[in-house]
Amino acid sequence: NKLRVYHTPEMHEVVRDIYYRFVNSQAETQVLSLRMVTVDSPNWRALAYSMMTPVTVQSPGVEAWLLTKESAALLTANLSKRTDYREHNSPNVLIHNGQTHTLTRKRPKNYVRSANGQGLVALSPQLELGQIEEGYTLQVSPLMSLDGKTIDAVIKCEIDQVEKLVPITIDIPSTLGQMQRVQIQIPQLVSWRLHERFRWPADEVLLLSCGVVASPGAEASNPLGIPNLLKNNPLTNTTPGRADALLFIESKGKASQALLDAQRQPIDSAPNYRGRY
């Protein structure tokens, strides 16, 4: 297989660099830590702003910062102590260099879309059900530099949430010629999209804040882990809450080295009794 490029010498160098970043034998599987969390209030910035370096972002409503790995660990520990903290995925993900990895968490939500009077029973209207996929999809496409010091990543995130189902009462004719009152539901949706490219040093952590948007979790829970049954309930007229969605992206290096470090950690952390036992 051959790659032919017909362009200026400057463009040849750009293509050459990208080509070797894809096919370089040292570009083995990389371990990226992708941690998506939410907090109900954006007031976490008050204590964390001094340890973060802002990054330019083109997408409206999105903020990005760079943190040292030590600062990111401290921030994550502080956030996890909050009662409104919630984590939405497993943090460690194996991603091949130059390939796209997709994380998806969705569930179907049914609602009464329409009705007609042609039910099997004369006095019973036929209800037509609709379905909406509620949740999030996160795509990350990383590409390491040849020296392993820089990460280029295209990040695409889509969040869809049914904020509430609006009940509407309609009159439909039955098979007996009488009018019947039936309640249908109109979904009120909240959606959020991000599709952007970022470049940052591999020894730092990229933090993205999507602002206060629809919560990416398919089902909210209280601090005890019990689902909140009052949310999205037409009887209480309540809706799912919004949250500040945060995405931490950290490079753990090559898969072989990350696995070796994980195997060494229990040994290094074992107590040393200095021969007394």
pLDDT tens by residue, 256-265 = 665 555 555 4
CA 142 to each of CA 13, 161, 162, 254: distance values in angstroms, whole numbers, following the listed order? 21, 27, 31, 13
pLDDT in tens, 107-152: 899 999 998 766 545 466 788 999 999 888 989 988 888 788 899 9
79: CB partners within 8 A, 6+ apart: 37, 39, 44, 85, 246
d(CA 31, CA 40): 29
d(CA 245, CA 38): 5
d(CA 214, CA 193): 11
Find, among 142, 136, 139, 134, the residue nearest to 163 by Cα.
134
Residue 107 gets the label, from left (phi > 0), alpha (psi -120 to 50) or beta, of: beta
| Weakly modelled stretches of the chain, pLDDT under 70 | 23-29, 91-92, 117-124, 175-177, 216-241, 256-277
Look at the pTM and tell me if it is higher than 0.95.
no
| Secondary structure of residue 175 in the 3-state scheme | coil
The CA-to-CA distance between both ends of the chain, in Å, stands at 63
- Tell me what pLDDT residue 75 has: 95
- Tell me what pLDDT residue 229 has: 35
- Tell me what pLDDT residue 50 has: 92
Please check whether residue 142 is in contact with residue 152, taking contact to mean a CB–CB distance below 8 angstroms. Answer: yes
- Tell me what pLDDT residue 271 has: 44
* Residue 98: both structure tokens together: 């130059």
- Tell me what pLDDT residue 272 has: 45
d(CA 120, CA 162): 31
- Tell me what pLDDT residue 256 has: 65
Residue 30 CA from chain centroid, whole number: 19
- Tell me what pLDDT residue 195 has: 93
- Tell me what pLDDT residue 74 has: 95
